[in-house]
A and B are shown apart, each in its own frame.
Chain A
Amino acid sequence: MNVRSLNTRLASMNPIAIILYGLIIWFVIAFLIYPNLNIYGEIFFKDGKFTLEAAEKLLSSERAMRSLYNSFILAFSLVVTVNIVGITLVLISEYFDIKGAKILKLGYSTTLIYSGVVLVSGYKFVYGEEGFMTKLLVRLFPSFDATWFHGYWAVLFVMTFACTSNHFLFMGNAIRKIDFQTIEAARNMGASTWYILRRVVLPVLKPTIYALTILTFLTGLAATSAPLILGGKEFQTITPMILTFSKSMTSRDLAALLALILGLATLVLLTVMIRFERKGNFMSVSKVKSELVKQKIRHKFGNIAAHILAYGLFVLYIVPVVLIILFSFTDSASITTATLNPSSFTLDNYIQVFSSMSAFKPYLVSIVYAAAASVIVVALTLAVSRLLHKYNNKWTLALEYSLLIPWILPSTLIAIGLIVTFNTPQLVIGNSVLVGTVWMLLIAYVIVHIPFTLRMVKASFFSLDSNLEDAARNLGAKPFYTFRKVLLPIILPSTLAVLALNFNGILADYDVTVFLYHPLYQPLGIVIKNSTDAQAAADTKALTLVYSVILMIMSTITLYFVYGRNSRT
C-alpha cells in the first residue's frame, strides 16, 4: 500500500500533470470562486455593511415560505418516483427480454430531446383542459371536471416522466457493465429474478443511483415550467420567484439568498451521498466480464404484465412528442384549443423560420459554442475526477466543493457576476477585459455545466475497478497512457452521454446567453426568444413549436452521433 501511494505520488510529479493541475486550480479561482464571491459581496454587503433584511423579508412572506416548502416536497417526491420509473425503464429496455425493446427504447428516450415549457405543453395537449384524454374522460363520465389536471399531482406526474432522461442514459450504461456470469451463477443456485435484481444487479447500480438521486433532487428544487404551468395557485414553487427576483436590481439579494438555501440543501444531500459512495465497494467482483444477456421473465403472468407496463409507458412517453410535432404545422387558434383539423395544416411557420439565409447563422453560432463548451467541460471534469479518484484529502475535497459553486447561484446571477467582475482588467486573467469578447459566453457555459458533468463523470470513475489501473501500471504503462488506454474507454459511454446532454442544453439556452452574447454572434436561444416573446406580433404559439421541433431534430442528430452509435457497439 505504501509503495503504491509513493509510486502514484512520484508519478504525479510529472511536469505536464503539474501544469494541468495548476490550470485547474487557476480556472477554479479565476472563474468559479472570484466572480461568484464578487456578486455575493455586491449583493449582501451593499454600502459596506452586511444586512439580513433579505432573510427577514422572506421569513415574513407566507407565499415565499409555502413555495419553498412545496419545492422541497416536490424534490423529495421526485427522488422516489423518478428512481422507480427510471429503474423500471432501464430494466425494461436493457435487462429483461421484452419484445420490441428497440422501439420501446426510442420512445423512452424522447425526454432527451425536449424539455421545459414545450414538454409541459405537450402533456397539456393530452391531459389539459382541452386535451385529448380529458375530452375522452368527459365523454365517458359527463360529470368529470375538465380542469382536473393541475396542482401537486399534475406537476409530479409530468415531472416524473420528464426527468428520467438521466436514468435512461447513465443507468443504461451502468447496467450494461454488469457481469453476466454472476447472474448466471446466482440463477444456477436457484435465486429468483427478484432476488438477483436485489442482490446482484442493484449493488452495481448504486454509484449511479446516488448520482442520479442528487440530480433528481436538484431538478425538483429547480422546477420551473411544470409548476408555473400546471401548479396553479395551490402549488407554487420557489424557482420562478428566484428567476423574477434575480432580474430585478433591488430584489437580487432575495434571489441569491433563496438560491443559497436550495444550493446548501443540495450540498447536504450530496455530502450524505458521498459518504455512502466512500463506504461501499460497488465494483462487480468478476474480472473477466461477459456481456449481459437479456433475461426472460419465466413467470408467465409476470411476463405479460411486464409487456403491458412497457407498452403503456411507451404510449405515455410518445404521445406528447407526436402532438407537438403535429401542432407545429398548425396555427395558434388550433394550438390553444388542441384541435387537429386537416384544413388548418400549414407549412407557413416553417417557411417563416427559414425564409432568409441570415436565419442560419444563429444555428452555426450555437452549435460551435455548444460543441466547444461541452468538450471543454468534459475534459476539465475528467481531469478533476481523476484527481478526486486518485487522492482523497482535504485539498481534493475543497476542489470538489468549489466546483459545485454554480449550484448555489441562479444562472442569471452567475452571468451578471461574470460581467461585473470581468468588465475591468483583472489580474487573475492577465489584466485583460473579457466583457465584449466571444470568450465570455463560452466560459459561462462551461461554468454552469460543471457541477452536473462532474457528478456524472465522477460516478463513472468510482465504479472503475482500480485493479485494472494497477495491472496496467505493473505492465509498465505510464499514467497518461493508462488513463487514455485503460480507464477512458470504460468511462467513455457515460462521458459521451454527458457531452451530448450538455451540448443539447446549451443549444437553446437563454438565461445565461442574453447577458453575455457577442453582438456579432447571436445564438439561437436569443433568436427563439425574440420571435416567440409575448410582445411579438407573429404567431408566437406556432413558432414556439416550430423551433422546438427544429431543436428536437438537432438534439436527435447529436445523440445519434455522440451516443447512439456507441451504444450499439
Chain B
Amino acid sequence: MRKWTMAALLLILCLVVSACGGNNAGNANTGDSGAAAPAGTSAGTDSSSEPAKNEKLIVYTNANSDGRGEWLIEQAKSAGFDIEIVGAGGADLTNRLIAEKNNPIADVVYGLNNMLYENLKKEDVLAKFVPSWAGDVEQGLNDPEGYYHGLVKQAILLGYNPNEFTADTAPKDWTDLYKNDAFKGKYEAPTLLGQNTPRLVVAGILTRFQDPNGDLGISEEGWNEIQQLYDNGVNAVEGEDFYANLASGKTPLGALVSGTLEQKEEQYKVKAGIVSPEIGVPMVVEHAAIVNGTKKQATAERFVEWMGSAEVQGQFAAQFNAMPANTKAAEQANASVKELYSTLKPQELDWAFIAENMDQWAEKIELEIMQ
C-alpha cells in the first residue's frame, strides 16, 4: 500500500512537472509572440513607408564564435540597430535558408563564403543590394551581379611543422603532397567533406583541371590527381584538431585557416610554416547579403551599409585579428595579419563553377575516391 501511495505521489509530481513544462512552453511562446509582433506589424507599417523605422533584424551567420557575435550586437546597438543573431555552421545555415525560402525568417546573412552564397543566389534566397562601400572592396571579391559583397578575407593555407620541414624542404604547392614521395603519409587528406575547409582544398585542386567534357566538369587527369591526394594522405579524424597533429608531428602537413593561426600558435606553442604556392591560395571571402523576401528591407539595407563600412570593418579587424576585404579598412588590420597577406596571392577561382559542382564532387569523392 505504501508503495502505491508513493507511486501516486510520484504521479502527481509527474503531473506537476508536466504542467510546469507546459506552462513554461506557454511562457516561451508568449515571449515569442511579443517579439514576433514587430515582425508581424512591420509588414503593415512598411507600406506606410517610414524610413526611420528600426525593427529588430534577424541576422544569420556562421561567424559569431569567439565573441564576434556579441561584439557585433554591442556595436550595432550603439549605432541604433537591434539585431538578433542565429549562429550555425555554414552548410547548415545555407540549408536552413533554402528550406525557409518561401517564408524567410532571416533579414540579413553574413559570414558565409562565395560558394555558399552562390548556392543561395541560385535558389533565389538573396535580394540584390549594392551597398555604397562595395566599391572599396578589393577588386574581384564581390559578386559581379550585386547580390553579396565582401567583408573579411580568409585564406586556406597549406601549413607545415617547422621542426620537420624548412621553407626549402616544405612542399611548394598542394600538388607536391602526392607527387613527391617525401610527403606521402605525412599530410592530412581532406576527408571530412562535411566541413568547408576540406571542400575548399579539393576545389582549389580540381578547378585547375576544368574540362567541359570531363566528368562533372573535371578532366580525367584531375580526378586521377585527386585520387592520389586521398591515396597518399592520412585520413582526418573527427574531433581531432589538425593543428595538434601538425604540432605533434603526427601529420606535419595540412590545411589551415588564416584567421585562427595566431591563437593556435599560442595554444600549441608551435608556429606553423606557411606555403605560398605560385598559383595562389584559395582566398575565401566572408560576405554580407540581404535575404530575399525580408519584410524589413529598409532597415536591413541600412544595417548592411553600416556593417560593411570601412570604419566598422576596421575596428572588427583590429579586435579579432581579421583581414578586411574593404581596402580602406585593411589599413587598420594588425601588423602580423598584414604581413601574412602581403606574401599571399589569391588563387583565381570560378566560384559559380565551384558552387554548381562542389556537392557532386564531394559525393563522387565520398563514393568512388576515398578508401
Contact = CB atoms under 8 A, between A and B. Distances in A.
Interface in A463-503: 484-485, 488-489, 492, 496
B237 A229 contact: yes
Contacts of A57: 363, 367
Interface string A404-445: 000000000000100110011000000001011111001000
B36 interface: yes
Contacts of A424: 102-103
A83 to B, nearest CB: 28
A518 interface: yes
Interface in A529-550: 529-531, 533-541
Interface stretch (A104-112, A238-246, A293-301): A238-246
A229 B239 contact: yes
Nearest to B270: A333
B29 A438 contact: yes
Interface string A502-515: 00000000000011
Contacts of A117: 238-239
Interface in B228-242: 235, 237-242
B248 A519 contact: no
Which of B11, B21, B240, B262 has the most chain A CB atoms closer than 10 A to its own CB?
B21
A322 interface: no
Interface in A197-251: 225, 228-229, 232-233, 240-241, 243-245, 247-251
Contact of A225 (B7, B35, B238): B238
Interface string B113-128: 0000001000000000
A64 B367 contact: yes
Given A514-B92, A526-B88, A536-B66, A484 B11 contact: yes
Which of A419, A442, A484, A566 has the most chain B CB atoms closer than 10 A to its own CB?
A419
B135 interface: no
Contacts of B259: 535, 537
A346 interface: no
A539 B267 contact: yes
B58 A519 contact: yes
A492 B197 CA distance: 49
Contact of B89 (A488, A514, A519, A521): A514
B11 A488 contact: yes
A514 B88 contact: yes
B96 A419 contact: yes
Contact of A375 (B18, B29, B247): B18
Contacts of A531: 65-66
B206 to A, nearest CB: 16
B267 to A, nearest CB: 5
Interface in A377-398: 379
Contact of B11 (A243, A245, A492, A519): A492
Given A63-B370, A436-B105, A541 B244 contact: yes
A249 B87 contact: no
Interface in B188-207: 193-197
Contacts of B247: 333
A533 B269 CA distance: 21
A35 to B, nearest CB: 12
Contacts of A63: 366-368, 370-371
B132 to A, nearest CB: 28
Nearest to B242: A534
Interface string A243-276: 1110111110010000000000000000000000
A462 B370 CA distance: 47
B24 A61 contact: no
Contacts of B119: 249
Contacts of B14: 375, 492, 496
A245 B32 CA distance: 33
A333 B269 contact: yes
Contacts of A331: 267
B41 interface: no
A538 B28 contact: no
Contact of B3 (A376, A519, A533, A569): A569
B86 A233 contact: no
A31 interface: no
A372 B20 CA distance: 8
B197 to A, nearest CB: 8
Contact of A485 (B3, B8, B62, B91): B8
B95 A416 contact: yes
Interface in B109-146: 119
B25 A535 contact: no
A492 B267 contact: no
Contact of A435 (B25, B92, B103, B193): B103
Interface string B264-280: 10011100000000000
Given A233-B235, A248-B91, A368-B25, 14 more contacts: A63-B370, A63-B371, A229-B240, A244-B194, A333-B269, A371-B21, A372-B25, A514-B89, A521-B31, A530-B88, A533-B89, A535-B257, A537-B264, A540-B241
